[in-house]
Structure 1
Amino acid sequence: MENNASLLDESPERITPKQGWVLTILACVGTTIIATPLLGYLDLANIVMLFLLTVLLVAVKLGRNAAILASILSVLLFDIFFVPPRFSLAVSNIQYLVTFAVMLVTALITAHLAAGLRQRARESQSREKRTQALYQFARELAGTLTTEQVVEISRSFIKTQLNAQSAVLMPHPENERLMVVSSSESPLLEMHLAQVALKSGQLVRSDEVGGMGYAPLYLPLRASMRIRGVLAIRFADDVAEPSSETTSLLETLASLIAVAVERLHYVDVAQASEVKMLTERLRSSILSALSHDLRTPLTAMVGLADSLFLIKPALPATALETAQALHEQADRLAGLVGNLLDMARLNAGEVTLRREWQPLEEVVGAGIKLLGSALASHPVKVELPRDLPLLEFDAVLIERVLCNLLENAAKYSPDGTPLLLAAEQEMDVVRVSISDHGPGFPAKRRDDLFKMFVRGESESGKPGTGLGLAICKAIVEAHGGTITADNRPDGGACVSFTLPKGVPPVVEEELA
Structure 2
Amino acid sequence: MRNDSRKHPPSISSHVLALAACGLAVAICLPLRDVLDLTNIAMLLLLTVVFIAARLGRSEAVVASFVSVALFDFFFVPPHLSFMVSDVQYLVTFAVMLTVSLFISHLTTSLQASAREASDREAHSVALYALARSLAGAISPEQAVQHVATFVREQTDGQPLFFLPDADGQLHRFPPGTSALGLDESLVLDAVFRSQASDPSCSTSGPNGPTLLFPLNGATRRHGVLLVRDCGRDGLDLLRPMLEAVASVTAIALERLHLVDLAQASRMETEAERLRSSILSSISHDIRTPLTVLFGLADTLALADAPLSGEQRDIARAIRDQAGRLHEMVEKLLDMARLQAGQVRLRKEWQAIDEVIGASIQLLGEALREHPVKVSMPPDLPLVAMDAVLMERVFCNLLENAAKYSPAGAPVTIDVATDDAGGLVIEVCDRGEGFPADSLARIFELFERGAPQLPTPGFGLGLAICRAVIDAHGGQVSASNRPGGGACVRIALPCGGEPPDIEPEPADPAGAAS
TM-score when normalising by structure 1: 0.86
Superposition deviation, residue 381 in structure 1: 1.7
Over the residues paired in the alignment, what is the CA RMSD in angstroms?
3.1
SS of alignment partner, residue 494 of structure 1: strand
How many residues align structurally? Answer: 496
**What's the secondary structure of 1:181's corresponding residue?**
coil
1:106 aligns with 2:97: no
The one-letter amino acid paired with 1:200 is: A
| Contact kept? 1:148, 1:182, Cα under 8 Å | no
Is the CA contact (8 Å cut-off) linking 1:358 and 1:391 kept in structure 2?
A: yes
Within 2, Cα distance between the matches of 1:223 and 1:37?
70
Decide which of 159, 181, 186 is 1:195's aligned counterpart.
186
* Structure 1 residue 394: Cα displacement: 1.6
Give the match for residue 417 of structure 2.
424
Cα distance, 1:402 vs structure 2: 0.7
What is the aligned partner in structure 2 of residue 9 from structure 1? 4
- Of the structure 1 ranges 347-356 and 434-443, higher mean CA displacement relative to structure 2 is found in 347-356
- Which residue of the other structure, out of 357, 368, 372, is the alignment partner of 1:364? 357
Alignment of 1:342-357 (within 5 A): 342-357=335-350
Residue identity opposite 1:301 in structure 2? L
Change (3 A) 1:359 1:277: same
SS of equivalent to 1:401: helix
1:153 partner amino acid: H
| Residue in structure 2 matched with residue 335 of structure 1 by the alignment | 328
State the shift of 1:97 in Å: 1.3
Query: 1:132 and 2:123 equivalent?
Result: no
2-side partners of 1:181 and 1:157: how far apart? Answer: 16
2:86 to 89, 92, 96: 92
| Percent identical residues | 45
Deviation of 1:281 (Å): 1.7
In terms of mean alpha carbon deviation, does 144-153 or 290-299 score higher? 144-153
What displacement does 1:292 show? 1.0
Which among 430, 440, 450 is matched to residue 436 of structure 1? 430
Q: 1:117 corresponds to which residue?
A: 111
Q: Which amino acid aligns with 2:3?
A: L
| 2:226 aligned with 1:235 | no
Distance 1:106 1:14 in 2: 25
195 and 349 in structure 1: CA distance in 2 versus 1, 3 angstrom threshold: farther
Give the distance between the partners of 2:84 and 2:182, measured in 1 at CA.
Answer: 73
> 1:342 Cα shift?
1.5
| Alpha-carbon distance change, 194 to 58 in structure 1, aligned in 2, over 3 angstroms | closer
Shift of 1:323: 2.9
Q: State how far apart, in whole Å, the 1-side matches of 2:403 and 2:223 are.
A: 49
Code of the residue aligned with 2:101 in structure 1: it is A
- Where does the alignment leave 5 or more consecutive residues of structure 1 unmatched? none
Matches within 5 A, 1:392-411: 392-411=385-404
Q: Which amino acid in structure 1 is aligned with residue 70 of structure 2?
A: L
Separation (CA, whole Å) in 1 of partners of 2:363 and 2:233: 85
Superposed, 1:38-437 pairs within 5 Å as 43-173=37-167, 176=170, 178-179=172-173, 181-183=175-177, 188-190=179-181, 192-201=183-192, 203=202, 205-207=204-206, 209-210=207-208, 217=211, 219=213, 221-224=215-218, 225-235=220-230, 243-246=236-239, 249-308=242-301, 311=304, 318-428=311-421, 429-437=423-431
Aligned partner of 1:384: which letter? M
Q: Distance in 1 between matches of 2:452 and 2:203?
A: 50
Conserved in 2, the CA contact under 8 Å of 1:378 and 1:419?
yes
Matched with 1:488 is 482
* Contact kept in structure 2, 1:384 and 1:423, CA below 8 Å: yes
Q: 1:493 to 1:166 in 2, by over 3 A?
A: same
Contact 1:194–1:232, Cα closer than 8 Å, also in 2: no
| DSSP 3-state at the match of 1:88 | coil
Q: Which whole-Å CA distance do the structure 1 matches of 2:346 and 2:35 have between them? A: 109
For residues 194 and 80 of structure 1, the distance between their equivalents in structure 2, rounded to whole angstroms, comes to 61
Shift of 1:312: 5.9
Could you tell me how far apart the structure 2 residues matched to 1:333 and 1:314 are?
Answer: 28
SS in 1 for 2:346: coil
Q: Distance in 2 between matches of 1:14 and 1:334?
A: 90
SS at match of 2:425: strand
Task: Answer with 398-407 or 338-347: which moved more.
Answer: 338-347
Equivalent position of 2:512 in the other structure: none
* Structure 2 unpaired stretches of 5+: 193-200, 507-514
Q: Distance in 1 between matches of 2:305 and 2:467?
A: 48
Deviation by residue 1:343-375 (Cα, 9 ceiling, x = unmatched): 122222222222223222221122111111111
- SS of the residue corresponding to residue 408 of structure 1 reads helix
Displacement of 1:206: 4.1
**TM-score normalized by structure 2?**
0.86
Secondary structure of the residue that 1:222 maps to in structure 2? strand
Q: Is the CA contact 2:185–2:204 (under 8 Å) kept in the aligned structure 1?
A: no
Amino acid at match of 2:93: T
Shift of 1:252: 4.5
Deviation at 1:399, TM superposition (A): 1.2
Q: CA 1:92–1:394 in structure 2 vs 1: closer, same or farther (change >3 Å)?
A: same
Query: Residue 510 of structure 2 corresponds to which residue in structure 1?
Result: none
SS of the aligned residue for 2:438 comes to: helix
274-283 or 144-153, which deviates more: 144-153
- Partner Cα distance (2:210, 2:25) in 1: 52
Shift of residue 53 of structure 1? 3.4
Distance 1:68 1:324, change over 3 A: same
Deviations 1:450-491 (A, max 9, x none): 111111111111111111111111111122111111111222
Separation in structure 2 between the aligned mates of residue 287 and residue 160 of structure 1, nearest angstrom: 58
Contact 2:384 2:499 in 1 (8 A): no
1:450 aligned partner: 444
Cα distance in 2 for partners of 1:506, 1:226 equals 49
CA distance in 1, matches of 2:334, 2:212: 57
Quick one: distance in 1 between partners of 2:306 and 2:233?
Answer: 108
2:493 is paired with a residue whose SS is: strand
- SS of the residue corresponding to residue 293 of structure 1 reads helix
In structure 2, give the amino acid aligned to 1:460. Answer: L
> Partners in 1 of 2:81 and 2:183 — Cα distance?
72
**How far apart, in 2, do the equivalents of 1:481 and 1:35 lie?**
101
CA contact (8 A) 2:435 2:480 kept: yes
Instruction: Report the alpha carbon displacement of residue 310 of structure 1 after superposing the two structures with TM.
Output: 6.6
Tell me the residue number matched to 1:498: 492
- Indicate conservation of the 8 Å contact 1:172/1:179, yes or no: no
Contact 2:475 2:494 survives alignment (8 Å) = yes
How far off its partner does 1:27 sit?
A: 4.0
Deviation sequence 1:166-202 (CA, Å, 0-9, x none): 443445546937345153xx6x413644532342116
Task: State whether structure 2 residue 468 is matched by structure 1 residue 468.
Answer: no
